[in-house]
Chains A and B, each alone.
Chain A
Amino acid sequence: MKKVLNRVEDVVDEALEGFQAAFPTYLRRVEGTHVLTRARPKRSGLVGLVSGGGSGHEPAHGGYVGYGMLDAAVAGEVFTSPTPDQVLAGIRAADRGAGVLLIIKNYTGDVMNFEIAQEMAQADGIRVDAVVVDDDVAVDGSLYTTGRRGIAGTVFVHKAAGAAAEQGASLDEVRDAARAAIAHVRSMGFALAPCTVPAAGDPTFTLGEAEMELGIGIHGEPGTERRSVATADDLANMILGRLSEDLALAPGSRLAAMVNGMGATPLLELAVLARRTGQWAREAGHQMDVMWLGEFMTSLEMAGASLTLMRLDDRLAMLIAAPADTPALRQGVVHD
């Protein structure tokens, strides 16, 4: 294993220190915790937003703490949900008196740990609501499984709910905005090479020179299917077809898209996927309001990408286009 590390067991702690060092005007670490919160908290009376999960998905989630998005991000060990006491510290940091919304990715561990923290915070008298993001179309969503995973589409949910909260929406309204975003967002990813969890030291799976994994999550786990590598256009067509079918997109739909690198795929190659995503939308007669291109929700140094589509109505389009100023996402006008 070759990695830029000091001691393996310090990687999360030192990375959080590094985020704070790099973005002191945005981020402050809640002392003694794995929580990053806004250096300048939003004014009181606004709903607070907390998200988080295992580390290894950078810039998620600390990179989205700031104006128009999150109020606190809670980091667990690499690919491991944070513990309830940490999430509780995040809730306390985010609470500005109008309640707190938790944005949870649908993984067994994340859901349980955030749920326990929610119960603890409610016992302390803080109003806390929660939404669970499950945008991954690769896994079967039947009642007999854990349900679909939350992957890159989660960042669109942060954006939509964060904008609503910044505009003064109530906790119920922010939760509804998040739910609307979740209902309209779908994603799917593929891997050309696995990643290595620092504490484990070995790659999470092995792939032949001409093989790829389709339907991967964001934890280095294998996908739902192994197949021969395809061209960028074929991959995009296949994934966009799945997303479009799952969203039951009618021609002329209004869309936001995200081309997300998994950690080790150059922007050059991601841009080739973005090209086809734009073409595909035009051919299908859709209106693409916005496309995000880059690394938004990674899986350490996994090679590969995910594509996300979100169907927009007027309100979601406004929320996605609203200003944001965070370490990893800056758009729109300068705030006060």
Chain B
Amino acid sequence: MTSDQFRRIWFRFGELVTEHRDELNRLDAAIGDADHGTNLARGLAKVAADLGADGASTHLAGSCRQVGMALLSTVGGASGALWGSALLRAAGALPEAEACDTATAVAAARQVVDAMQSRGHAELGDKTMIDVWRPAVALLEASVAEGMSGPQAAVAVAERAVTLADATAPLVARRGRASYLGARSAGHVDPGSVSTALFWRAVADTVAHS
């Protein structure tokens, strides 16, 4: 992965979230407070501005840290704390260089999942974005271990992420605001899982077309 690709992933993620903002808000209205799309779009607009600013870092670790700080300080809510903590942690796994090998990029993705779980304490099946993140990163690791190229693996993960997000619908939420609804949270897709699937689509769109 190059630092140019890394930045373009975030520009693309921002486009996708803006495109799906109303849908994400609608999903959130059903089991939360109707602002997931708005908050994430606001944060990603700041990310794009920071990454494109004069004097922005040109190496991977620095760019990743910028993304983490921007998300932490503009998204708000649980999403901001989780995405922000995760990207700050992932920055530690990336080199202060313009490119890294696939194994390093995969290790950074693993740091994202670990940081989200240690900050948010969510487990698989709690109806949170961990339901997409954890199996997605496991698939990424397995695909690369089997010899798939980074771009091929990213496309496979992006496809699986959509299925994983849909699979949150029947679950009863045990974390986050949806958990207050108890059994009434079943029958609705988790909005954080849907935006996570959009992130993986942004990764696939970017690396498969470079």
Q: Which residues of A contact B (CB under 8 A)?
A: 54, 76-86, 107-109, 112-113, 115-116, 138-140, 144-146, 149, 197, 199-200, 202, 204-205, 217, 219-222, 224
Contacts and interface: CB of A to CB of B under 8 A. Distances in A.
Contacts, number: 114
Given A108-B176, A146-B180, A204-B29, A199 B35 contact: yes
A217 B180 contact: yes
Contact of B76 (A81, A217, A222): A81
> Which 3 A-B residue pairs are closest in the complex by CB-CB distance?
A112-B81, A109-B77, A109-B78
B174 to A, nearest CB: 6
Contact of B35 (A80, A84, A138, A222): A80
17 contacts: A77-B35, A81-B78, A83-B73, A83-B80, A85-B73, A107-B78, A109-B76, A109-B80, A113-B77, A115-B81, A116-B72, A139-B182, A145-B174, A146-B177, A205-B29, A221-B177, A221-B180
Given A80-B39, A144-B174, A145-B174, A112 B78 contact: yes
B72 A224 contact: no
A144 B42 CA distance: 32
Q: Which of A82, A83, A202, A224 neighbours the largest number of chain B CB atoms within 10 Å of its CB?
A: A83
Contact of B33 (A83, A115, A197): A197
B92 interface: no
A113 B179 contact: no
Contact of B120 (A108, A217, A219, A221): A108
A76 B79 CA distance: 13
Q: Which of A79, A80, A145, A205 neighbours the largest number of chain B CB atoms within 10 Å of its CB?
A: A80
B32 interface: yes
Nearest to A199: B38
Contacts of B34: 197, 200, 202, 204, 220
Contact of A112 (B35, B82, B177, B181): B82
A108 B35 contact: no
Interface string B47-71: 0000000000000000000000000
Contact of A108 (B38, B42, B75, B177): B177
A87 to B, nearest CB: 11
Nearest to B123: A144
A9 to B, nearest CB: 8
B32 to A, nearest CB: 7
A76 B180 contact: no
A138 B181 CA distance: 10
Contacts of B84: 84, 116
Q: Which of A79, A108, A113, A224 neighbours the largest number of chain B CB atoms within 10 Å of its CB?
A: A108
Nearest to B76: A80
A83 B76 contact: yes
Given A113-B77, A116-B72, 12 more contacts: A54-B77, A76-B76, A81-B76, A84-B73, A109-B79, A112-B81, A144-B174, A146-B174, A200-B25, A204-B33, A221-B177, A224-B182
